[in-house]
Amino acid sequence: MEILDRLVQALYSGVLNGSVYGLMAIGLTLIWGSLRMLNLAHGALYIAGAYIAYGVLGGLGLPVPVTFALAVGGAALVGLFIQLILINPILEKPGRDSAALIATLAASIIVQSTILLIFGGQTKQLPPVVDGGFKVGTTLISYQGLVVIGAAVVCLLLMTIFLRASRLGLAIRAISQNMDAAKLMGIPIVPAFVVVMVISAALAGLAGVLLGSILFFTPSGGFTPMLMAMVVTIFGGLGSVGGTIWAAYIIGLMESFLAVYVGPSWALPGIFLFMIAMLVIRPNGLLGLGEVRRL
């Protein structure tokens, strides 16, 4: 039975990882697709979500679902500020790529050090939405884990529907296909950018809140999830939403299978080596658009 136990363990944590990576990576890929910039503040938004929930819960004592909604809204608000104050002014300037890189990195430093000043550097954890769990063999499957997976899948589906069916989603997809043509067709570019940023910040915040009740977090804890989200984004093909969702689960499962079968310290190196190999063979990702030149 031990073989089966390990399999269940690997599958469960793989799907859990994949769900969170999906939430993180979808925002990254949307921003990449429309704004053509790498948002290095994404990890800070993730951790901002977790800390806002922690602060609201400790300070106001509101019920957990309200707290989580406030935290997601707070992360979205931080994203809105970043977009309005830092990104919008540099959109039309020359040397935009490096300026955007610096601006988003600066945003991430500001958010992280503000959190550090308010909450201190100790590790924190959020209480779960639902307590308890059940056992499959020796693997403990918590209800909280299932909530995370369920919420992530629902959000990813909603995102896909939003992008496919709504007018705004159509506009965002048009911008990511060809910004100049979209501009000529009368799509208001800058408001669309703001919407993209807010959505992606909210999703990152949601990921932070959901995972904050499973893992411990510190002010700089957004870095590794962001790195993994970047891996997922690249693996799925930059700017491709469908590819990103597939990639999130593939990478999540790969990480947990490596951790269970080879050893926990091999999970990250294994994924990065795989990444390098894939970039050499398929430089545009799993379902990447066949474009010759990307930033």
Which residues contact other proteins (rule: CB under 8 A)?
A: 32, 38, 85-86, 89-90, 93, 95, 97-103, 105-110, 112-114, 116-117, 220, 223-224, 227, 230-231, 234, 238, 265, 268-269, 272, 275-276, 279-280, 283, 293-295
Least separation in angstroms between CB 121 and other proteins: 10
Cα separation, 128 vs 61, whole angstroms: 14
User: Closer to other proteins at the Cβ: 168 or 289?
Assistant: 289
Least separation in angstroms between CB 191 and other proteins: 20
Least separation in angstroms between CB 295 and other proteins: 4
User: Closer to other proteins at the Cβ: 160 or 220?
Assistant: 220
Half-sphere exposure at residue 241, Cβ-oriented, CA atoms within 13 angstroms: 23
Least separation in angstroms between CB 84 and other proteins: 11
User: Closer to other proteins at the Cβ: 28 or 159?
Assistant: 28
The burial class, CB within 10 Å (0-12 / 13-18 / 19+), for 274 is middle
Least separation in angstroms between CB 151 and other proteins: 27
Half-sphere exposure at residue 163, Cβ-oriented, CA atoms within 13 angstroms: 24
Least separation in angstroms between CB 162 and other proteins: 24
Long-range CB contacts (within 8 A, 24+) of 61-67: 64/127, 64/129, 65/129
**Per the structure block, which two tokens stand in for 274?**
């795989």
User: Closer to other proteins at the Cβ: 128 or 237?
Assistant: 237
- Which phi and psi angles does 244 have, rounded to 5°? -65, -40
Least separation in angstroms between CB 64 and other proteins: 31
Least separation in angstroms between CB 143 and other proteins: 32
User: Closer to other proteins at the Cβ: 86 or 192?
Assistant: 86
| Closest among 63, 289, 18 to 176, alpha carbons compared | 289
Which residues, 6 or more positions from 232, have their beta carbon under 8 angstroms from its beta carbon? Answer: 21, 22, 24, 25, 244, 247, 248, 251
- Which phi and psi angles does 141 have, rounded to 5°? -105, 110
User: Closer to other proteins at the Cβ: 106 or 153?
Assistant: 106
**Per the structure block, which two tokens stand in for 55?**
């602060």
User: Closer to other proteins at the Cβ: 165 or 276?
Assistant: 276
Three-class DSSP category at 192: helix
| Closest among 110, 95, 78 to 37, alpha carbons compared | 95
| Closest among 100, 102, 108 to 37, alpha carbons compared | 100
User: Closer to other proteins at the Cβ: 10 or 103?
Assistant: 103
